Chain A
Amino acid sequence: MASVGLMHYLLLSAVLFSIGLYGMLVKRNAVVILMCLEIMLNAVNISLVGFSRFVTPALLTGQVFAIFIIMVAAAETAVGLAIIMAIYRRHETIDSDKIDLLKW
């Protein structure tokens, strides 16, 4: 078994991203869709930090990008959950199949 290197982290990141994508496409509960989005953002962060560790260990630029992604993810979660709460208050449901007002 080879020693753990960049490739292992990148493959793990790809696996997590695919799991998150599958959940996002399949789930009907809007909160669960947001949870799957968080998994995808975490997968991207793993690959960024992996690049930072193995490709440019002295520069730390990948970790800075990961910090910005965490920041944007926090804002996105707050606004997303607020939108879900507003939709729930008006429609009494957060089933993404039933929220189809803009569907043509």
Chain B
Amino acid sequence: MGLDIAFWVLAVISVGAALSVVTQSNVFRAALALILCFVGVAGLYVTLSADFLAAAQILIYVGGISILIILAIMLTRDMQHGSPSNKLQIPAMLVAAVLLGVLVYTLTNTPWIVSTQSPVEPTTAALANKLFGAGGFILPVVIGAAMLLAAIIGAIVLVREK
């Protein structure tokens, strides 16, 4: 019962914050609403008993990515122009509504095989075994590390003063 209430509260918070990001005319307030959306998603991970992912979400999204985005907003002086929409508002709304309809139709008509097992808790040790253990995902982890390094170097090269 407590999980149900938590889910509904967090779902309303995340969807409301996401709608606020899309409709807000002030870019900075949109970024703050985005942070609220990230926090809501982290709470949803907690209700899904994914404790490590919730912590990672707070650290990476709320702590890192939102700071990057706010820094970019501050450095580009387009703030006074706000966050205007282009001329595609109605077609875009149509596309999004059609996609949502198709998704809801397929989701509700697929017979999902739901397991009744209780989830692994806490997940950190189990995730580490998955990522670094034998027969796990060690190769993608190494590739991901190389990709992050390449991304950092690429970002430095892109913004470097000539």
Contacts and interface: CB of A to CB of B under 8 A. Distances in A.
Nearest to B150: A75
Contact of B151 (A9, A22, A68, A78): A78
Interface residues of B, number: 86
Interface in A51-104: 52-58, 60-61, 63-64, 66-68, 70-79, 81-86, 88-89, 93-97
B130 A64 contact: yes
A61 to B, nearest CB: 7
Contact of B96 (A19, A61, A96): A19
Interface of A is mostly: helix
Contacts of B158: 79, 82-83, 85-86
Contacts of B72: 31, 81, 84-85
Contact of A38 (B15, B61, B73): B61
Contact of A67 (B56, B107, B126): B56
B60 A70 contact: yes
Interface centre among A22, A54, A89, by most B CB within 10 Å? A22
Nearest to B19: A19
Interface residues of A, number: 75
A47 B50 CA distance: 13
Contact of A95 (B8, B37, B81): B81
A4 B107 contact: no
Contacts of B3: 4
Given A20-B18, A26-B22, A67 B7 contact: no
Question: What are the nearest 10 A-B pairs in CB distance?
Answer: A75-B151, A25-B92, A82-B155, A22-B96, A23-B22, A82-B158, A14-B103, A18-B100, A57-B119, A53-B48
